[in-house]
A and B are shown apart, each in its own frame.
Chain A
């Protein structure tokens, strides 16, 4: 047993040496470094206490064995000792609490930000909204898991960033104080980037606030995951942040602002059925297939099939209605909050013309807008 324990301590020491697979990451921000140091500090205090306590125990087990001829002593109390081992831990705790308080106070130093981003958890993806000074959203997009189902189900070899890859990461500039406003749409999620040294719960109806500054020499991609159980695909909603050099970020942001303009124009365009099908397949794959399955068969009775469903082959109003407004009390969400009219039009068109479904209508963005107006 002594050897086993020694083995553990050794393994822990290896962890102390900083191997990534064994220990907390140092991370890249000043805060994450402070947290790491705090973690190692408490860890070593625990190791020392452990050596003293377990050392005494093993000494007794070896030397005060009946088999070794030990005769039991009679003592059974000592007020002095009791006081000593109440006071000593108290002092140790003060020595831990002091630096911990300092780090915590530093973490709460919000304000003075250069950029504010709203992070919103959905079942099972993240939405990032870049806010202007009046908290209006300027640029917004979703960040979805990119790992294909084939890799998850072992039909294809798993890639390097298995389960930690998204279609579009959150982009932030280095060297600027980025403030995150964290909330959720449906259930509670938790947004965690280990390299930034914190996680914060995303709670519906509550706006949590936190921040990070990535130092200029630490541009790069940082990966984390949702850390609050949020339903079926909780394990499949990674957090990926791309910390970019400032000029690159600014260029990207300017381009995004322009795309916003184009997107708004698409809302008044008329698409060909082929364009709608192509765009619709993409939207379906990202937003709907996890429940209704790529083949439209769903997972009855929990997630209904769309192939041959009464709604997907019946009046279009009903179809638009459930997609836009969802159905409260079920997993079917109100996608009107997540997708724009062009995407809704495409996915509804796709569902009405895929698998065995074959209605004779074409759904354009303006139909969706009209429906929403009613």
Chain B
């Protein structure tokens, strides 16, 4: 370990960033790469958001107004793919790049060149994916879950680009997670034992293992598709002796851990923010670590809860129902710990804290609907309706996304040395909070009343809730443009931030000056009880 640190130290002594574009193309600096990831994630978030607004505009009223059904399907599919693989995942990798080395007292990521590569793959992967929307045959239109045979025998020709794009995203994620694991396991400052690490680092360590385990499965699934489409195999083609249900098993063996890949780092972020603004240490640190690990383990044995309606045998249904319900236990432990951290604290409600509190409340609502969905007989009614759409948006938008936004407000002063404008931040919070609930809460109702998901037009009894939902979506969408404005304003002209930034903040990153120097911790810092969990 110490060798790596010394080598890194010699290499980079006194170097500042390169000038101009070369800095960003060739950079191996974890802060630069973190910045690239975060901006990329925001760009994808805006593109995915525009597609979502096309969907919501079409669904504002019954009837077909703006787009044809085939194009509508391309919108839903690409919205899902871009948000999951382009916005949320790179967003968290960006945070990991910026924060993990600073939090464990390392000078940089363990594998800086690979770090550069894993980022620079992404723009190519998404250019490839998005370019299909402009081709004659149209882009992928088979849902982000791309069930065969709709995505094989019946897919538009461009599906091959999609497959290649997914391979590239997978390669990027695998490299990113290897890098994070190597950094956390090898580069911690002396004294930063595993059980002293900040929770954000812990959750990312576990997430990185999840990624390593399931991205190859996804790669396998799309490769089998490729063979079915071009090389005459019949993995998923019933007419040739294959099995379309097998596709779903493989997909969800990747897919369920994937949803935890999108939420575990969020748990980490919130576990950093709530103690700071409660001015009280995180309650139940050890149990938080164990809960995260058990969620990760359970996420491998619940995949078929997405497939209750495919007609599995009774015993299988029962197993997946019970296993899914078990996830509620460690998830509950987390929520209880956050509430106990706030309990008898000395709380203040700056913007990051507001987003973190909204996270706890709204994620829990998503957890409740998750528990309901786990009940197989009831899921026969809920499945593939807007109730599911409401569920996963509650865990992904005020869940994963809010945590990323909270993280940006929380650490931005450390990154750029300037404070954001607190009243603008609060305004952004309230607009987002109202927008998200107006958009997604009514979808519980339309789902229960029987509205299927992924439809461009609907029966008249769903009209009211869809209209409300569309209004909320536009409020939410435009408030994120406001977020962009706030961030740019902060970087350009925010008031200088102090080194500690928040009076209640603990952790090695806060011992650095603001903005954090280009090369930090070139000498391992001393890990004191004040800055690490003890």
Q: Which residue numbers of A lie inside 8 Å of B, CB to CB?
A: 1, 4-5, 8, 11, 15, 20-25, 34-35, 38-39, 42-43, 46, 49-50, 53-54, 56-57, 60-61, 64-67, 70-78, 81-82, 85-86, 89-90, 93, 96-97, 100-101, 103-105, 107-108, 123, 151-154, 158, 160-164, 186-188, 190, 192, 194, 197-201, 203-206, 208-209, 224-236, 301-302, 328-329, 331
Once the chains bind, are A209 and B311 in contact (CB under 8 Å)? yes
Separation of A228 and B321 alpha carbons in the complex (Å)? 21
Given that A42-B372, A100-B378 are known contacts, is A64 also in contact with B346, CB under 8 Å in the complex? yes
Once the chains bind, are B457 and A235 in contact (CB under 8 Å)? yes
Given that A82-B333, A201-B309 are known contacts, is A22 also in contact with B458, CB under 8 Å in the complex? no
Once the chains bind, are B345 and A72 in contact (CB under 8 Å)? yes
Contact with A along B310-345 (1 / 0, CB 8 A): 110010011001100110110011011001111111
Once the chains bind, are B284 and A158 in contact (CB under 8 Å)? no
Q: Contact check: which of B329, B357, B365, B368 meets A93 at CB < 8 Å?
A: B329
Please report the number of residue pairs spanning A and B whose Cβ atoms sit closer than 8 angstroms: 290
Given that A46-B368, A72-B345, A188-B147 are known contacts, is A85 also in contact with B333, CB under 8 Å in the complex? yes
Q: Contact check: which of B150, B332, B345 meets A188 at CB < 8 Å?
A: B150
Once the chains bind, are A235 and B452 in contact (CB under 8 Å)? yes
Q: Is B383 an interface residue (CB 8 A)?
A: yes
Given A66-B346, A236-B457, 14 other A-B residues pairs in contact with their CB atoms under 8 A: A5-B361, A23-B448, A25-B450, A50-B368, A56-B339, A70-B346, A76-B280, A76-B284, A93-B325, A100-B377, A105-B314, A151-B63, A194-B450, A301-B136
Once the chains bind, are A64 and B63 in contact (CB under 8 Å)? no
Given that A35-B378, A86-B333, A205-B244 are known contacts, is A232 also in contact with B150, CB under 8 Å in the complex? no
Given that A21-B461, A72-B346 are known contacts, is A104 also in contact with B318, CB under 8 Å in the complex? yes
Once the chains bind, are B286 and A77 in contact (CB under 8 Å)? yes
Chain A residue contacts of B136, Cβ below 8 A = 301
Q: Contact check: which of A100, A208, A229, A236 meets B142 at CB < 8 Å?
A: A229
Q: Contact check: which of A4, A8, A197, A328 meets B381 at CB < 8 Å?
A: A197
Q: Is B364 an interface residue (CB 8 A)?
A: yes
Q: Is B467 an interface residue (CB 8 A)?
A: no
Once the chains bind, are A70 and B344 in contact (CB under 8 Å)? yes
Chain B residue contacts of A73, Cβ below 8 A = 280, 344-345
Separation of A89 and B364 alpha carbons in the complex (Å)? 14
Q: Is B65 an interface residue (CB 8 A)?
A: yes
Tell me the smallest distance from the CB of A323 to a CB of chain B, in Å: 19
Separation of A301 and B62 alpha carbons in the complex (Å)? 28
Q: Is B282 an interface residue (CB 8 A)?
A: yes
Contact with A along B126-143 (1 / 0, CB 8 A): 000000000011100111
Chain A residue contacts of B336, Cβ below 8 A = 53, 81, 85
Q: Contact check: which of B65, B340, B346, B384 meets A199 at CB < 8 Å?
A: B384
CB closest chain-A residue, reference B460: A162
Given that A186-B149, A234-B455 are known contacts, is A101 also in contact with B318, CB under 8 Å in the complex? yes
Q: Contact check: which of A64, A70, A154 meets B65 at CB < 8 Å?
A: A154
Can you list 21 A-B contacts (CB < 8 A)? Answer: A35-B378, A42-B378, A53-B336, A60-B343, A64-B347, A72-B344, A73-B345, A77-B285, A86-B333, A93-B329, A100-B377, A103-B377, A107-B380, A153-B63, A200-B309, A203-B311, A205-B239, A208-B311, A234-B69, A234-B73, A234-B455
Once the chains bind, are B376 and A104 in contact (CB under 8 Å)? yes
Tell me the smallest distance from the CB of A66 to a CB of chain B, in Å: 4
Q: Which residue numbers of B lie inside 8 Å of A, CB to CB?
A: 62-65, 69-70, 73, 136-138, 141-143, 147, 149-150, 153-154, 238-239, 242-245, 278-287, 309-311, 314, 317-318, 321-322, 325-326, 328-329, 332-333, 335-336, 339-349, 357, 360-361, 364-365, 368, 371-372, 375-378, 380-381, 383-385, 433, 437, 441, 445, 448-450, 452-461, 464-465
Tell me the smallest distance from the CB of B268 to a CB of chain A, in Å: 17
Q: Contact check: which of A71, A97, A226 meets B321 at CB < 8 Å?
A: A97
Once the chains bind, are A38 and B375 in contact (CB under 8 Å)? yes
Given that A77-B284, A227-B383, A232-B69 are known contacts, is A20 also in contact with B149, CB under 8 Å in the complex? no
Among B153, B343, B371, B450, max chain A CB count under 10 A is at: B450
Chain A residue contacts of B314, Cβ below 8 A = 104-105, 108
Once the chains bind, are A236 and B321 in contact (CB under 8 Å)? no
Separation of A118 and B336 alpha carbons in the complex (Å)? 50
Separation of A357 and B27 alpha carbons in the complex (Å)? 65
Chain B residue contacts of A226, Cβ below 8 A = 452
Once the chains bind, are A21 and B445 in contact (CB under 8 Å)? yes
Q: Contact check: which of B73, B325, B381, B445 meets A39 at CB < 8 Å?
A: B381
CB closest chain-B residue, reference A151: B63
Separation of A53 and B367 alpha carbons in the complex (Å)? 13
Once the chains bind, are B310 and A15 in contact (CB under 8 Å)? no
